[in-house]
Amino acid sequence: MNRQKVLFSEKHNSSITQPTIQQKSARLLVAGQGTIIAHQKGNLAFSIHITTQLAKTEDCCYAFSLNVDQENATFSYWLDGEETVICKSDSGTGLNREGKCLYWFSLDSTNYRLSYGIGEPRELCTCLSTDLSSSIKSWLKNIQYICVESRQNIEIDILPLPVTEDPPLLVVERSQITLEFLATKKATVIENLTVECQRLYANIAGIELNTPDFPCFSKAIEQSLTNPKGWCHQILSNKKNSNMPTYLRIGMGTNQGESPGCPYVLEIWPSGYFSPIHNHADANAIIKVLHGEITIKLFSTLSTLCQTPFKTFLLKEGEVTWMTPLLNKTHQLHNESTSVCVTIQCYAYPLTTNCHYPYFDYVDNHENCIQHFEPISDIDFLTFQRIIRQEWEMFIHKNITSYL
Ligand SMILES: [Fe+2]
């Protein structure tokens, strides 16, 4: 999806009829439609105005506005300098008190709809939506100029499409797509995602845990978790002493600066284990379940104040899901089943970014704050595989001996 990035950098006169910073204005990529995403680092009120003309002093200037303050958000329209409020969101859907957060303003001239949301630009994160009345809806197709008012720096992204629905969470092979999938958006093909996701998918989609040379790998991992002397059991026991929820991370490949931590990570989730709510440094990612199943909870934003998922789904063995810098990026994985789950995760920074943030940020519920986690591995994969194979061979030998 094309994106246009613009920086509005200073406070100016708050009247839309006196356009002191309109020279810094951006334009929608398509007149009348699109999504404007405001990256707000503080918690000061701001407004986004979308207008028909660059200079608001001209006659017959129409505009729609999104105004966000500490309490809620409002939509309004302007005609020749007169503002009329259209609707207001519920209390508590305004600025995040913790500061850093995304807010989006969607304009849909096909369906004559304005929408506002917090966090990820998707239908499930909508806080306010209105279908425009017939007297003003025709304006929408002609508006294209964007002006942001704020007392602090706000970076914005502009997406060419409005927020109208939620994206499919599953990635399937082309041969698996059905007419029902197209109609329900239950699954997508990898070609619909970013080029980084496409590359990651090509690398891991065909991977299986149990292979001809080690067909009992999954059973051997379960044995290592069950046996108090097993490597998995002991490492998890040591990690459990920290306050942070935990699981096992087995790294593959060298961190060459293209991903936060190792590009490929095997993760082992015993029954009942879970991660903290976290995000992934604006990376692209592909996740495949190699054994068992895992519950994934998605959150609109990373915040100690908002820990209610907007979506919870079960990813089963063989299934694949995805993440981009904008979507599915804040999640929590939880093995709610009674047996172990093994997943492979892989990550890649966007090719277009020159900022490689190396940490996964997470919600620390003990300290009630956002912390940084350096995505290090517990062990490298080849060493892990050798240890587990040795443990398994000893286990088999012991059982045969006792049987004899
Ligand atoms: Fe994650």
Q: Write out the DSSP string of 5-34.
A: EEEE-------TTS-TTGGG-EE-SBTTEE
How far does residue 245's CA lie from ligand 1's centre (Å)? 12
How far does residue 120's CA lie from ligand 1's centre (Å)? 16
User: For 353-373, what is each residue's pLDDT tens digit?
Assistant: 777 777 788 899 888 889 888
Contact present, 392 and 400 (Cβ < 8 Å): no
How far does residue 278's CA lie from ligand 1's centre (Å)? 6
Structure tokens at 72: 């809620």
Which residue ranges form the domains of the chain, and what is each CATH number?
4-159 (2.60.120.200), 170-400 (2.60.120.10)
Where are the extended beta strands (E) located within 283-389? 284-291, 293-298, 311-316, 320-323, 330-334, 341-348, 360-364, 369-373, 379-380
Helix (H, G, I), strand (E, B), or coil: what is residue 380? Answer: strand
Residue 35's closest CA among 91, 95, 89, 108? Answer: 108
pTM of the predicted model as reported, rounded to 2 decimal places: 0.88
Identify the sign of the CA torsion 278, 280, 285, 289: negative
User: For 114-162, what is each residue's pLDDT tens digit?
Assistant: 999 999 999 999 999 999 988 888 888 888 899 888 888 888 899 999 9
How far does residue 215's CA lie from ligand 1's centre (Å)? 27
Q: Bridge partners of 50?
A: 64, 146
How far does residue 332's CA lie from ligand 1's centre (Å)? 7
Contact present, 51 and 62 (Cβ < 8 Å): yes
| Model confidence at 8: pLDDT above 70 | no
Strand pairing of 379-380 and 248-252?
Answer: parallel
How far does residue 220's CA lie from ligand 1's centre (Å)? 25
How far CA 258 is from CA of 2, 171, 186, in Å, comes to: 22, 23, 30
How far does residue 40's CA lie from ligand 1's centre (Å)? 23
| Model confidence at 220: pLDDT above 70 | yes
How far does residue 253's CA lie from ligand 1's centre (Å)? 18
Residue 67's closest CA among 53, 55, 84? Answer: 84
User: For 232-289, what is each residue's pLDDT tens digit?
Assistant: 999 999 887 776 778 999 998 777 777 777 789 999 999 999 999 999 878 999 999 9
How far does residue 346's CA lie from ligand 1's centre (Å)? 10
